[in-house]
Amino acid sequence: MAQGALFDEPAQQGIVALGPEARVLRGFALPWVDRLLAALAEVERAAPPRHMLTPGGLAMSVANTNCGALGWVSDRRGYRYSATDPQSGQPWPAMPAAFAELALAAAAAAGFADYAPDACLINHYRPGTRLSLHQDKDERDHRAPIVSVSLGMPAVFLFGGLARADKALRVPLQHGDVVVWGGVDRLRFHGVLPLKELPHPLLGAERINLTLRQAG
């Protein structure tokens, strides 16, 4: 049975409910992929992906960069949003129109109107890369949705509860899938299991995740 039925709404083709205000939109980004990848190449020419340091001083296994008015950064001082790229001292590249359009459409399809993302974190995963369970709490508004776009190699997304120890759902994500979580589900713990080496026809042995937020 589609999980949508658990949340008192008709199950819709390609939409899976992970919570009252959390949805997986299967293949939702596929019509945007060409525009996303072209825009991504432009963004990364100006702000190349890099392995930021955790507050503990270790290099993150994910390589990341940002676009939009604000970018998520990590270093020995902690996690925060910054209007400039610490590597160049310049503002982050502007949010490409295709990113914003996709994020708005996905948020609307998941029940969130008036979404205005001002930050997009771009994560690059290789085989073996993982993202440990965490909550996204560095944004000003802890209810505005997060829109997470998967490109390239498949991954298993962990979607837990409001406490770290809560059992996490294991959600397989494919190229083109979009996950949206906000409202009562916004502070749920989430992460990504270590990636298997399952090269993708378009992107090879890489997974790219675009995570859009209303941060400021």
The residues binding ligand MD6 (CB under 6 A) are 62, 72, 121, 123, 131, 136, 148, 190, 192, 209, 211
The residue among 136 and 185 lying less far from Fe ion, judged by its C-beta, is 136
Least separation in angstroms between CB 134 and Fe ion: 6
Binder of residue 102, out of Fe ion, ligand MD6, none (CB less than 5 to 8 A by kind): none
The residue among 32 and 159 lying less far from ligand MD6, judged by its C-beta, is 159
Sequence-distant (6+) residues with CB within 8 A of 166 are 160, 189
Q: Does 185 bind Fe ion (CB under 5 A)?
A: no
Q: Does 136 bind Fe ion (CB under 5 A)?
A: yes
Least separation in angstroms between CB 113 and ligand MD6: 23
The residue among 65 and 148 lying less far from ligand MD6, judged by its C-beta, is 148
Least separation in angstroms between CB 135 and Fe ion: 7
Binder of residue 131, out of ligand MD6, Fe ion, none (CB less than 5 to 8 A by kind): ligand MD6
The residue among 104 and 122 lying less far from ligand MD6, judged by its C-beta, is 122
Residue nearest to Fe ion (CB): 136
